[in-house]
Structure 1
């Protein structure tokens, strides 16, 4: 029997995230990184960058990842898990390729990756896998000895994620005036994506009608709503809504938008709303601007009492969930049959993405899947 905190065969964990600017001069170069290859003019990027300039040109995501990095290291050490944790970003410093290069120099040969996205979609899973493949290709061109890289399964239904989110909703309800609390509606908000991307999210057999992206979110909505009902004794209306739409207006994206939804529920007499940022692991720019700024302003315009519940951030239960997912995957790689924690109706996701899972606009090599060129 292996030790309960044995990470073998892995010798490192990589926290892989989106990245964000850390000053006004970083904003447009960061957005150029994000949109590279799409032909978006600089003037448009400067317009989009106004969201960041409202916050001093600083995205909160990097500092939040530093805190998560520290929390993971502390949790691992306290629980006897001897596994170093590194951090790399897709779009800003520390860049993924630089971090992988550092890991190789440090002698890391079997790396497990935690992406800061809990759901299946192109932008939330496969694009990270494509960037991993690109980073490995760059190291290969340099003559480096390539490590074996795997990715932790999507974790939207792990108890450490769902139970933390549910407790945040209960705490948010307490912030509403008592006279409207009982009728408060739950608006579960996540990042909108093109409908075509939603329909092809997850493995091919499940493509269509929102694919895995919508199904996973709806599963989470049901589980969190049930937990809130059990905690408060009140059955509440709840809906999945979307935010942060971008791109050409003629391309259909998932709807309804959160601000449109606030207008709709106000019109039907809902006395208050709790916005639940179900699609986000931490309070990064989409949460601070689209919810805490735009949606808040819309609610105030309507005279609709509104509060926003917390993301999981560095909550100890979420950090412990990451440890659980690391040990689960390590045991599976050793040929054992670990217990796979998952709530809701869909069960735990796959360890390795199959062929055709969350395809992009154009085929690109992707690491960590069954068709990885770096298996």
Structure 2
């Protein structure tokens, strides 16, 4: 059997979503707590969920990914009895703190997190790290000492890129010749992109690197034209966010005479609400009204190759922590991303001093000593 030592458990960590109509508003309040979002805006967004019976697709997608990840780790020789795989969410049940408490009660003291976000940014990385820090503080106050690390970003991995390329190729085959590709990701404030990564603008840079890598895998005689565009803007009009919006982009493509478009949700691991509403519902309706042939490519999350990539990164990180020198493949950009976040990486612009786990500057910010005989409650 293959060992994941020094890790005792793996945590699949995701965003979370409601699964019934009466859960929608409490979920949205969790997501936006402390951000001053008007209730009117929450009610507007809640209608997106009610359009699908009050149930987000994300939890079912994560249940499938959890099963696939367990299968791929077992295929890699990992003993899931001694190193179990848990699933927790930031914003809805099963909550991160509850799952880590369950893992601790089962004997886990050192956990490796797999976050369902492929790119660096505050919302895609540091905010998860902040939630992990909060969970570790809560557990430490209960006398539970744990350490949590996370795998590196995987926007540059075969198992993420190749399923997208395969789906685009299929989509182009159903559209008129000369159709274009619209890669889509979640819009964020310009200032958040400026602060993403250790040197800034990592969010847009890594997305473009992933787009380029996907296009290079299409294997077509004529390389389609492509653009990176955005969806799901939620800030006030006075605040600059990444543009253009997918709806505006579709109108521009029609005006430019594009014969069709493959819409590619490259910023999303699986079919989140932003995909099934913003793209499959709103963008599709816009394209229909424009009489613009439109196909939506699949996300990577259901592909066996994607779970295999995540399992490989888990094994890679465990080997590195044991002092070995594992291969660190990277198929997009200048090379593999860091394992441990540098100080200030993907800064929290609202609260720069908020603790975030899994970084070089993380230290458990409480005075209460942890139980003896447990690993130090820090993540590096």
1:98 Cα deviation from its structure 2 partner: 0.3
Q: Give the stretch that moved more between structures: 101-110 or 74-83.
A: 74-83
CA distance in 2, matches of 1:257, 1:47: 18
Q: Which residue of 1 aligns with 2:330?
A: 342
Q: Which residue of 2 aligns with 1:170?
A: 169
Deviations 1:170-211 (A, max 9, x none): 1222333xxx1x2010000000000000011000xx22xxx1
Kindly report which structure 2 residues correspond to 1:347-358, keeping only aligned pairs within 5 A, or say none: 347-358=335-346
Does structure 2 conserve the Cα–Cα contact (< 8 Å) formed by 1:216 and 1:346? no
Does structure 1 conserve the Cα–Cα contact (< 8 Å) formed by 2:210 and 2:333? no
CA distance in 2, matches of 1:109, 1:139: 11
Deviations 1:58-110 (A, max 9, x none): 00000110111111112222331123110000000000110010010010111
CA distance in 2, matches of 1:84, 1:173: 41
Q: Which residue of 2 aligns with 1:123?
A: 123
Q: Which residue of 1 aligns with 2:207?
A: 217
1:234 Cα deviation from its structure 2 partner: 2.0
1:227 Cα deviation from its structure 2 partner: 1.1
1:287 Cα deviation from its structure 2 partner: 0.2
Q: Please, which of 292, 308, 311 is the counterpart of residue 296 of structure 2?
A: 308
CA distance in 1, matches of 2:86, 2:252: 44
1:47 Cα deviation from its structure 2 partner: 1.8
Q: Which residue of 2 aligns with 1:297?
A: 285
Does structure 1 conserve the Cα–Cα contact (< 8 Å) formed by 2:206 and 2:333? no
CA distance in 2, matches of 1:259, 1:353: 35
2:186 is the counterpart of 1:191: yes
Q: Which residue of 2 aligns with 1:100?
A: 100
SS of alignment partner, residue 32 of structure 1? helix
SS of alignment partner, residue 350 of structure 1? coil
Question: Number of residues paired by the alignment?
Answer: 360
1:42 Cα deviation from its structure 2 partner: 3.0
Does structure 1 conserve the Cα–Cα contact (< 8 Å) formed by 2:17 and 2:91? yes
Runs of 4+ with deviation above 3 angstroms: none
CA distance in 1, matches of 2:238, 2:66: 40
CA distance in 1, matches of 2:305, 2:63: 18
Deviations 1:200-230 (A, max 9, x none): 1000xx22xxx111110111111111111x2
Q: Which residue of 1 aligns with 2:253?
A: 265
User: Which TM-score applies when normalising by structure 1?
Assistant: 0.94
1:285 Cα deviation from its structure 2 partner: 0.3
1:159 Cα deviation from its structure 2 partner: 1.1
1:168 Cα deviation from its structure 2 partner: 1.4
1:249 Cα deviation from its structure 2 partner: 1.5
Kindly report which structure 2 residues correspond to 1:1-375, keeping only aligned pairs within 5 A, or say none: 5-82=2-79, 83-144=83-144, 146-176=145-175, 180=176, 182-203=177-198, 206-207=199-200, 211-228=201-218, 230=219, 232-360=220-348, 361-363=350-352, 364-373=354-363, 374-375=378-379
CA distance in 1, matches of 2:64, 2:296: 21
CA distance in 2, matches of 1:220, 1:254: 17
User: Which TM-score applies when normalising by structure 2?
Assistant: 0.93
SS of alignment partner, residue 118 of structure 1? coil
Structure 1 gaps of 5+ residues are: none
